Amino acid sequence: MMEKHLPYFSLLEGCSSSKCPVCFIVKKNSDRYLETLIYEGINDSGFRINFKKNFGFCPVHTWQFQELKDSLATAILFKDLLSLEPESLLKKNKTCQICNLIKDTEDRIYAEMKLRLEDLEFKNLFVKSSGLCFYHYAKFALKIKNKLPQWFKDFHNKKIEELITETDRYIKTEDSTIDQFSVSVVEKVKGLKNYIAIY
């Protein structure tokens, strides 16, 4: 019997959510990171040095940070960037600290999933989950060199077939003049949001 550690329990929690398990864990970790950053990290000189060196976050995470609507934290953090030359944005070795956290989180989950693919307890729980989204399925397959077990492929293929039927039925019954990919449409087609949403 394999030992169970934090990554395993975190994976089980992801499977019990109604989302792609990887998206669920990544979102939970990055939200927690941003909250901690606002309450403690703003005064962390190591973080501030890296933030300045990388010219802030990537555009997506800059927006995510803004959405937290903490004006003081935003002012303190982004003031550090005011003295930089805009050309420093072009530096090749720039990374976003939140993107790095996400990559590390994803890699840990992929390693844990790979270990558990033949574990009956994990398999029974996973087949009751929403399954991986399109993006994480592709990345996981690539990570384990496409050595996905048959049950894992069958489970996702069945989900996709159901989704195609459901989406077709929706498109046929809706007014074709509306934007088929608007958020409200995606919300209405059960499962499509989980399949295409990253995080």
Footprint (CB under 5 A) of Zn ion, residues 92-131:
96, 98-99
186 lines the binding site for Zn ion (CB under 5 A): no
Q: How far is CA 199 from CA 24, 30, 102, 154, in A?
A: 6, 10, 10, 23
Number of residues this chain uses to bind Zn ion (CB under 5 A): 10
What 3-state class would DSSP assign to 8?
Answer: helix
Which strand (E) or helix (H) includes residue 160?
A: helix 150-173
CB of 139 to Zn ion, least distance (A): 9
Q: Which is nearer to Zn ion, 2 or 36 (CB)?
A: 36
What is each CA distance from 41 to 22, 23, 37, 38, in whole angstroms? 25, 24, 4, 6
**Nearest residue to 127 via CA among 153, 106, 161:** 153
Q: Which is nearer to Zn ion, 89 or 171 (CB)?
A: 89
Kindly write out the interface string for residues 42-81 of this chain, putting x where it contacts Zn ion by CB under 5 A and - elsewhere.
----------------x--x--------------------
Q: CA torsion 130→131→137→143, rounded to 10°?
A: 130
Q: Which is nearer to Zn ion, 174 or 187 (CB)?
A: 187
**Residue 58 Cβ vs Zn ion, minimum distance, rounded to whole Å:** 3
CA distances from residue 157 to 32, 75, 121, 138, 192 in whole angstroms, order as listed: 33, 48, 21, 13, 14
Q: Is residue 99 exposed (0-12), middle (13-18) or buried (19+ Cβ within 10 Å)?
A: middle
The residue (of 18 and 177) whose beta carbon lies closer to Zn ion is 18
Q: Which stretch binds Zn ion (CB under 5 A): 14-22, 114-122, 157-165, 181-189?
A: 14-22
Residue among 14, 122, 131, 136 that touches Zn ion (CB under 5 A): 136
Closer by beta carbon to Zn ion, 22 or else 34: 22
What's the closest the beta carbon of residue 172 comes to Zn ion, in angstroms?
28
Nearer of residues 15 and 22 to Zn ion, judged by Cβ: 22
Site residues (CB under 5 A) for Zn ion? Answer: 20, 22-23, 58, 61, 96, 98-99, 133, 136
